Amino acid sequence: MSVISIYGGDFMAGSKMLSQDVADNIISMITIEKRFGAGDKLPNETELAHELNVSRTTLREAVRILVAYGVLEIRRGNGTFVTEKVLQEGEILGQLSDVKANAGDLYEMRLIFEPEAAYLAAVRGTDGEIRRILECGRRIEEAIRDGSDRTQQEQAFHKSIAQATHNEFMNKLMPILYQAISKGVALSAQGGQAVQDTVADHRLIMEFLSQRDAEGARSAMKIHILHAIRELGIQ
């Protein structure tokens, strides 16, 4: 599907314009987070710009990019909608999501994958991407305080780190890791220590990322996943 080039095929990671980064974020919301499907309406401009930590002007530019690729369509007076064209990409990602793996295998994969993703995010992530990671982390804490399901916020946090690596295939692997994240959230609800570790670990990861400390971010992510393996009794 031609839209894959938005993730980096046509642009060097270091030279991507902010509007292109925002277009990537929206694509991820559709194909990775599964927040929006074909025919769905995006949030209004003000709400979406606030969530992505960008100006409305930048968001409009990103939408124009996705309209040009046929991913979005603007219906005058009604809003911006996801087109049927995303189904092809969604089907590819769906095949990855259908991979059956036990919790041990999934967390082993996270232990291999995510510390390096955190390292690369600290090195390569734009300021806007780092802000998005921090915002996702704050939303996790809000969900924990409210006692609500934080699965979506957890997925968004780890996805935003993977996206900040500017590595297309790290983004492609995220649907598999979502299974591990979902399992972890469900299991941690049964143990207070796991929740406490999640908050403390995320704060450490966020601190290192905000400081652009790549080694620190890698170590903090490794500790986070090891805590989960220990507290959740995953073998």
Specify the pLDDT at position 186.
Answer: 57
CATH of 10-87, one of 1.10.10.10, 3.30.460.80, 3.40.50.720, 1.10.3720.10: 1.10.10.10
What's the rounded Cα separation, in Å, for the pair 163 and 7?
Answer: 9
- Determine phi and psi for 79, rounding to 5 degrees: 125, -165
> Which of 89, 80, 72, 87 is CA-nearest to residue 7?
89
- Cβ distance 33 to 156 under 8 Å? yes
Q: How long a stretch of residues is the chain? A: 235
- How confident is the prediction along the chain (235 residues), in pLDDT tens digits per residue? 333 334 444 433 333 467 887 887 788 788 767 788 889 999 999 999 988 888 999 999 989 988 888 889 999 889 999 988 665 544 444 444 444 446 777 788 889 999 999 999 999 999 999 999 999 999 999 988 888 878 888 888 988 999 899 987 887 777 777 666 665 565 555 456 667 788 899 999 999 999 999 999 999 999 998 988 887 676 5
Report the amino acid identity of residue 87: L
Task: Name the residue ranges covered by the structural domains of the chain.
Answer: 10-87, 99-232
> Which of 155, 165, 135 is CA-nearest to residue 50?
135
Instruction: Indicate the class that CATH gives domain 99-232.
Output: mainly alpha
Q: Which two tokens stand for residue 106?
A: 């999934």
DSSP per-residue codes, 50-91:
HHHT--HHHHHHHHHHHHHTTSEEEETTTEEEE-TTHHHHHH
